[in-house]
Structure 1
Amino acid sequence: MTETARPIGSGTVTLAVADGVATITLNRPEVLHAFNPAMGADLLEALLTVDGDGAARAVLLTGSGRAFMAGGDLAHLHGATGEERPRAANALVGAFHEIVLAMARLSKPIVAGINGVAAGAGVSMAMACDLVVMAAEAKLVMAYTGIGATPDGGSTFALPRLIGPKLAMEMLLLNEPVDAETARAWGLVNRIVPAAEVPAEAMKLAKKLAAGPTLSYARTRRLVSESLDNPLGQQLAREQEAFVANSRTHDFDEGLGAFLAKRKPGYEGR
């Protein structure tokens, strides 16, 4: 079953749900999907819609055309002068941070398809996803200090945890592009394929997740996120709570039955 992508809000984002996968596509190709408050509102609406849609059990996030996301809309900031600029900066960063939080709270796993340019906020958004498929030709660049700005989008939270403080500082201070092989070696991405194959490979992963135990995935996402700050004893307690809670689900029962019967499970996301 295929659903035609429909524009969300002002149209800077499109959404389609098919075969359990919600595909959210950034749709400002003329500016390489540079993030502005309008896109923030559209993307937040799309994420909230997906979170409440029982037919969507996994999310694929990508960009149309040749870019994933080129960062924040600098023209939007440059056009603001005097005290308008801090207000514009506050609105822009605040809108993006709402997206990062919404992604973290989502009850479904997210696959990023980095089909091209990923800079600044685009890297932050990709790092907020659970699995990342990157085009072999693409590069990641933080870019913030290159324009005299400071990092945002949770990059100073995610990068040190993913690659360690020294490599995080290298990315954030030097703004040197990180190629796909280096990104994978550092643990920033999961799969590398030619750019033309990114949509299919990312969809393949998303469909695999969509056919899985959705509630188990949701609890696993939370556990991994919480583990970054919890002491061992507290994390063990959280794992036990999650395991017991999940034992009440239909999919846990189905998984046990399938294992014992030596058959493929038929998960329903409940």
Structure 2
Amino acid sequence: MSAPEVIRVSERGVLWLTLNRPDVMNALTRDQREHLIALLSEASADPAVRAVVITATGKGFCAGADLRSGPAAGDRIAGDVARLIREGAQRFIAAVLDCEKPVIAAVNGTAAGLGAQLALACDLVIASEEARFIEVFARRGLVPDGGGAYLLPRLIGPRRAKELMFFGDALSAQEAERWGLVNRVVPPAELAKTARAWADRLATGPTRSISLTKQLVNASLDTDRATAFAAEATAVEIAMTTHDATEGVAAFRERRPARYEGR
């Protein structure tokens, strides 16, 4: 039996999704991408899942889409490629952004192309000192896909985004941290430990509150103030109906640690 391309492990409310094609730097096949989309959708609906970690085996995090696994080019008509991008790379990145649980990227090595967008779409990014981020598209004469031109300017501003995309140079983990693309950089031996510590904190937190906060932050740069304020008020009202909000207020009054259940 061959090894699974995505290793799925659940522990203490954390769903670990590990890309497992180390021989090709974890380049994503179509089937692997569809599997991840389905797993993220299931995580949103599963109350037992309260945080997600995406990481990889081997020396690379993800080298992007595995072009060798795709359909033959053949004769294309106008709209074929745009449809492929919408239904493939963009839908994949949207699945990460729209997941109702917080998603941590534990980047163990090179994240290139769609692999870089995968890491950047996650809510929190922890990188090994050996990690690199590469918007490789310009090297191939291509335009960034997977929402790269949407994500990067929002994270680091348009000028630095253009620098990365125009030249396709590798950005070290340390530079990525300085630029605000990465939350923490740790030695390789501490990557899994750090990701587990963060995921465990999220998994014992007020899950619905964190989900609503994620939605507000993700939408904040695309809306005007009135819309953002209205969404905030609605989110606060929804959160106040949860068990965890009641528990949080009670714990504060009783001067004890809160015991959140994710509901």
Residue in structure 1 matched with residue 164 of structure 2 by the alignment: 171
Hey, what's the Cα distance between the residues in 1 that align with 2:80 and 2:224? Answer: 39
Cα shift readout 1:212-270 (whole Å, capped 9, x = no counterpart) = 00000110011001111111122111111111111111100111111122211000001
Match of 1:253 among 246, 250, 258: 246
Hey, what's the Cα distance between the residues in 2 that align with 1:109 and 1:90? Answer: 29
Are 1:25 and 2:18 matched, yes or no?
yes
Asked whether the 8 Å contact 1:12–1:42 carries over to 2, the reply is no
Cα shift readout 1:56-115 (whole Å, capped 9, x = no counterpart) = 1000001112211011113346x8344269958854663222221112221100000001
Residue in structure 2 matched with residue 227 of structure 1 by the alignment: 220
**Which region of structure 1 is more displaced relative to structure 2, 10-19 or 21-30?**
10-19
Match of 2:186 among 190, 193, 210: 193
TM-score with structure 1 setting the length = 0.91
Hey, what's the Cα distance between the residues in 1 that align with 2:168 and 2:228? Answer: 35
Hey, what's the Cα distance between the residues in 2 that align with 1:244 and 1:15? Answer: 35
Q: Secondary structure at the match of 1:184?
A: helix
Asked whether the 8 Å contact 1:66–1:115 carries over to 2, the reply is yes
Q: Secondary structure at the match of 1:144?
A: helix
Match of 2:103 among 107, 110, 130: 110
Asked whether the 8 Å contact 1:37–1:92 carries over to 2, the reply is no
Residue in structure 2 matched with residue 57 of structure 1 by the alignment: 50
Residue in structure 1 matched with residue 196 of structure 2 by the alignment: 203
Q: What is the 5 A alignment of 1:1-270?
A: 11-76=4-69, 80-83=72-75, 91=84, 94-270=87-263
Cα shift readout 1:132-186 (whole Å, capped 9, x = no counterpart) = 0001121111101101111011111010011000000000011111111211111
Gaps of 5+ in 2: none
Asked whether the 8 Å contact 2:85–2:146 carries over to 1, the reply is no
Hey, what's the Cα distance between the residues in 1 that align with 2:43 and 2:180? Answer: 28
Hey, what's the Cα distance between the residues in 2 that align with 1:32 and 1:63? Answer: 9
Matched pairs, number: 261
Change (3 A) 1:92 1:36: farther
TM-score with structure 2 setting the length = 0.93
Q: Secondary structure at the match of 2:105?
A: strand
Q: Secondary structure at the match of 2:146?
A: coil
Hey, what's the Cα distance between the residues in 2 that align with 1:222 and 1:231? Answer: 15
Hey, what's the Cα distance between the residues in 2 that align with 1:87 and 1:37? Answer: 16
Two-structure CA RMSD over aligned residues (Å): 2.0
Hey, what's the Cα distance between the residues in 2 that align with 1:40 and 1:102? Answer: 10
Change (3 A) 1:206 1:25: same
Q: Secondary structure at the match of 2:144?
A: coil
Gaps of 5+ in 1: 1-6
